[in-house]
Structure 1
Amino acid sequence: MPAKEAAGDVPKLAPDLEIVGDQVRIQPTGFTGGLEGTDGITERRLMHQMGRFRENPFDFLREISLFVSGTGWRAYDDFIGQPIFYSGFSEKMKSSVASHSALVSKIEELAELQVKTEEKEGLLTLTSPASSSSNGGRNVDPRTRRKEEIAANLREVVDTMLDNMICKMESKSFIRGAYYVTTQALTRAYHQGIHVSSEEVLRLRSVAEEAAKKKQSIVFLPCHKSHVDYASLQVICYRLGIALPVVVAGDNLNIPLLGSFLQHAGAMWIRRKFGNDPLYHVLVQAYIDTLLSNGHNFECFVEGGRSRTGKLLPPKYGILRYILDSVGSGRVEDALICPVSTQYDKVIETESYISELLGQPKQKENLRDFISASSVLSLKLGRIDVRFHEPWSLREFITQQTTRIHRAPTEKNLMSNIGADERARILRTFGYRVLSQINDASVIMPTALVGTVLLTLRGRGVGKAELSRRVDWLCGRVKEKGGRVAHFYRAPTEQVVERALDVLGPKLVGRTVGLAEETFYVVDRFQLSFYRNMTIHLFIPEALVSVALYSRVKQGGGPSNQTISYDELLTQVSFLSQLFRGEFIFPPEGLTANLEKSLLGLERGNVIKVTRDESNVPQMIELSEQERKCGRENYDFYCFLLWPFIEACWLGTVSLTGLAPPLADPENVWVDMNKAQNNAQLLGKTLYHQGDLSYIEAVNKEILKNSYQRFEEEGIIITAKSKETREPPTMRLAPDWTPERDPETGKLLPHGKLWEFIRMIAQSRREGKNRRDGETISSRVLELSDTMGRSLFQNARPVKPAGAGGEVELSSQILRRRTIDTASKL
Structure 2
Amino acid sequence: MLKRVALWLRIALWWFFAKVNFGSKLGAALREGVARGTLVYVLQTRSVFDLLYFNYVFLKHRLPLAKWSNGPSTTWFMPMLHLLRRLFRRRSSLSEENALSEVISNGDAALIFLERPAASESESRAYSQRFLERLCELEAHSLESIVVAPLLIVWDRRSEEFRPSLLAGTFGTRQHPGFLRKVLGVIQNLWQPFFLMGAPHVQVCDLVPLSDFRPGTGEKASIRAEALRVQLLAQLEQERSTVIGPRFKKGAVIKREILADESVQSSLARLKETDSRSLEEITRVARENLNEIAADFSMLTVKLMAAALTPVWQNIYDGLEVDEEGLDRVRTAARDSSIVVVPSHKSHIDYLIISYIFFQYGLVPPHIAAGDNLDFPPIGSLFRRAGAFFIRRQIKDDPLYKLCLRLYLAKILSEGHGLEFFIEGGRSRTGKLMAPRFGMLRMIVDAFGEGTVDKVKIVPCAVTYERVIEGRSHQAEVQGAPKKQEHLGALLRSTKVLTSKNGRLYVTFGEILDLGEYMKRYEVEPVSPPEQQHALTQRLGYRLIYEINQAGTATPSALASLALLTLEGRRISRPRLLAAIGFTLDMLLRKGVRLSPSLQTALASKRAQLKAETVDEQEFDSTFLSGSSNASPSGVFAKLGQAVAEYIDEAIKGFSDGNLVEFTTVKGSQSDLNFFYGVPEKGRGELSYYKNTIVHNLVPDALLATALLEPGEPRIEVEPLMERTLLLSRLFKHEFFYEERAEFKNVFWRTFKEFEARGWLQLAEEPDAAVMITPETIDALTYFHRIVLTFLETYTLVAGELDHLQGRWVGEKDFIDHLKVTCQVRYHEGVVRYVETLAMPTFKNALRRFIEWGLVEDRTVQKRRKPSQQLRFVEGQEARWRETLNQLICLLRGRKKARQRVTRVD
Give the TM-score normalised by structure 2.
Answer: 0.66
Counterpart in the other structure of 2:756? 603
Provide closer, same or farther for how the CA distance between residues 330 and 27 of structure 1 changes in structure 2, counting only shifts above 3 A: closer
> How do residues 411-430 of structure 1 correspond to structure 2 at under 5 angstroms?
414-418=525-529, 420=531, 422-430=532-540
For 1:635, the equivalent position in structure 2 comes to 781
Alpha carbons 2:243, 2:362 under 8 Å: kept: no
**557, 571, 575: which one aligns with 2:727:** 575
Pick from 255, 270, 278 the counterpart of residue 109 of structure 1: 270
Count of equivalent residues: 635
Q: Given the alignment of the two structures, is residue 718 of structure 1 paired with residue 857 of structure 2, yes or no?
A: yes
CA distance in 1, matches of 2:592, 2:22: 33
* Counterpart contact for 1:86–1:169, Cα < 8 Å: no
In structure 2, the CA distance between the partners of 1:262 and 1:376, relative to structure 1 (3 Å rule), is same
Matches for 1:11-22 after TM superposition, within 5 Å? 21-22=20-21
The structural deviation recorded for 1:464 is 1.6
Partner of 1:486: 596
Rate the CA distance shift 1:186–1:670 in 2: closer, same or farther, 3 A.
same
C-alpha change, 1:607 and 1:704, in structure 2 (3 Å) is: same
Secondary structure, counterpart of 2:841 in structure 1: helix
Cα distance, 1:361–1:21 mapped onto 2, change above 3 Å: same
Deviations 1:522-547 (A, max 9, x none): 12111111111111111111111111
CA deviation map 1:367-414 (0-9, x unaligned): 7733553421211111111111232311111122125xxxxxxxxxx2
Evaluate the alpha carbon distance shift between residue 759 and residue 69 of structure 1 in structure 2; reply closer, same or farther with a 3 A threshold: closer
Counterpart residue number, 1:543? 702
CA distance in 2, matches of 1:679, 1:372: 37
Matching residue within 666, 675, 678 for 2:817: 678
Are the counterparts in 1 of residues 857 and 873 from structure 2 also a CA contact under 8 Å? yes
Aligned-pair identity (%) = 26
Corresponding letter in the other structure for 1:308: R
Structure 2 unaligned residues grouped into runs of 5+: 1-17, 29-189, 203-236, 606-642, 899-906
Measure the CA separation in 1 of the matches of 2:19 and 2:721.
Answer: 57
- Within 2, Cα distance between the matches of 1:368 and 1:294? 31
Structure 1 residues 275 and 635: CA distance shift in structure 2, 3 A = same
Mark the CA change 1:424 to 1:611 in structure 2 (over 3 Å): closer, same or farther: farther
Matched-pair contact (CA < 8 Å) for 1:692–1:768: no
For 1:226 and 1:165, how far apart are their aligned partners in 2? Answer: 22
Whether 1:522 aligns to 2:679 is yes
**Cα distance in 2, alignment partners of residues 578 and 367 from structure 1:** 37
Instruction: Name the CA distance, whole Å, in 1 between partners of 2:197 and 2:736.
Output: 49
Looking at structure 1, the residues matched to 488 and 510 of structure 2 have their Cα atoms a distance apart, in angstroms, of: 34
Residue 8 of structure 2 is matched in structure 1 by none
**Aligned pair partner of 2:522 in 391, 395, 401:** 401
Partner secondary structure for residue 424 of structure 2: coil
1:511 alignment counterpart? 663
Q: 1:79 to 1:355 in 2, by over 3 A?
A: farther
Does structure 2 retain, via aligned residues, the 8 Å contact 1:189–1:381? yes
- 1:303 aligned onto 2:432: no
Query: Aligned-pair distance for 1:550?
Result: 1.5
1:737 shift after superposition:
2.2
The letter for the 2-side match of 1:199 is E
Contact 1:447 1:500 in 2 (8 A): yes
> 1:582 aligns to what SS in structure 2?
coil
CA distance in 1, matches of 2:248, 2:455: 28
For residue 315 of structure 1, the aligned residue among 428, 432, 436 is 436
Is 1:339–1:438's contact at 8 Å kept on the other side of the alignment? yes
Matches of 2:367 and 2:26 in 1, distance apart?
Answer: 32
Q: Distance in 1 between matches of 2:550 and 2:297?
A: 33
Task: Give the superposition deviation at 1:613.
Answer: 2.1
Cα gap change, 1:289 to 1:272, in 2 (>3 Å): same
1:398-447 deviation line (CA, Å, top 9, x unaligned): 122125xxxxxxxxxx2423352x33321111011111111222220110
Q: Confirm whether residue 593 of structure 1 aligns to residue 746 of structure 2.
A: yes
Query: Residues 253 and 365 of structure 1 are in contact (CA less than 8 Å); yes or no, is this contact kept in structure 2?
Result: no
Are residues 63 and 346 of structure 1, via their aligned partners in 2, closer, same or farther at CA, if it must alter by over 3 Å? farther
Q: 1 CA distance for matches of 2:589 and 2:760? A: 17
Counterpart check, 1:217 vs 2:376: no
Deviation (angstroms), 1:96: 2.5
Change (3 A) 1:378 1:28: farther
User: Greater CA deviation, 157-166 or 531-540?
Assistant: 157-166
| C-alpha contact (below 8 Å) 2:461/2:548 kept by paired residues | yes
Q: Mean Cα displacement is larger for which, 328-337 or 442-451? A: 328-337
**Residues 633, 417 of structure 1: CA spacing in aligned structure 2 closer, same or farther, 3 A cutoff?**
same
Q: Is residue 340 of structure 1 aligned with residue 461 of structure 2?
A: yes
Aligned CA distance change for structure 1 residues 537 and 100 (closer, same or farther; 3 Å): farther
**CA-to-partner distance for each residue in 1:205-226, whole Å, 9 max, x for gaps?**
2333x32xxxx21111111111
- Please, what TM-score do these two structures have when normalized by structure 1? 0.73
**Deviations, residues 89-141 of structure 1 (Å, cap 9, x unaligned):** 21222122223445322322344555xx5xxxxxxxxxxxxxxxxxxxxxxxx
| Structure exhibiting the larger radius of gyration computed from Cα positions | 2
Greater helix share, 1 or 2?
2
Determine the C-alpha separation between the residues in 1 that align with 2:764 and 2:802.
Answer: 40
How far did 1:309 drift?
A: 0.8
Q: Output the CA distance in 2 between the equivalents of 1:596 and 1:584.
A: 19
- When residues 754 and 89 of structure 1 are mapped into structure 2, their CA distance, relative to the original with a 3 A threshold, is same
Whether the 8 Å contact between 1:194 and 1:232 is mirrored in structure 2 is no
Tell me the secondary structure at the aligned position of residue 703 of structure 2. Answer: helix
**Alignment match of 2:716 (pick from 543, 564, 578):** 564
Q: 1:482-539 CA distances to partner (integer Å, 9 max, x unpaired)?
A: 2121112327322121111122234111111244421111121111111111111111
1:765 corresponds to which residue?
A: 892
Q: Which residue of 2 aligns with 1:23?
A: 22
- Provide closer, same or farther for how the CA distance between residues 65 and 647 of structure 1 changes in structure 2, counting only shifts above 3 A: closer
What is the SS of the residue equivalent to 2:567?
coil
Other structure's SS at 1:455 match: helix
Aligned-partner residue type, residue 445 of structure 1:
T
Greater mean deviation of Cα atoms: 540-549 or 462-471: 462-471
SS in 1 for 2:772: strand
C-alpha deviations, 1:151-185, integer Å up to 9, x for none? Answer: 22322222222122111113x33221111111221
Aligned pair in 2 of structure 1 residues 315, 100: CA closer, same or farther (>3 Å)? farther
Cα distance change of structure 1 residues 70 and 733 upon mapping to structure 2, 3 Å threshold? closer
Q: Partner letter of residue 881 of structure 2?
A: L
Corresponding residue for 1:451? 561
CA offset digits 1:220-264 (Å, max 9, x no partner):
111111111122211110011111100111111212212222111
Are residue 650 (structure 1) and residue 801 (structure 2) matched?
no
* Cα distance change of structure 1 residues 584 and 575 upon mapping to structure 2, 3 Å threshold: same
Distance 1:612 1:375, change over 3 A: same
Query: Matched residue of 1:531: which SS?
Result: helix
How far apart, CA to CA, are the structure 1 residues paired with 2:378 and 2:481?
A: 27
Match among 448, 452, 460 for residue 570 of structure 2 = 460
> Who is 1:801 aligned against?
none
CA distance, structure 1, for counterparts of residue 467 and residue 487 of structure 2:
23
Check whether the contact 1:106–1:279 (CA below 8 A) recurs between aligned residues. no
State the Cα deviation string for residues 579-624 of structure 1 (Å, max 9, x = none): 111111123421111111111111222222222427xxx8222323
Aligned match of 2:255: 94
Whole-Å separation in 1 of the counterparts to 2:240 and 2:748 = 48
| Residue 201 of structure 1: aligned partner | 327
2:541 equivalent among 431, 435, 456: 431
SS in 2 for 1:539: helix
Q: Which amino acid aligns with 1:66?
A: F
1:356 aligned partner, one-letter code: E
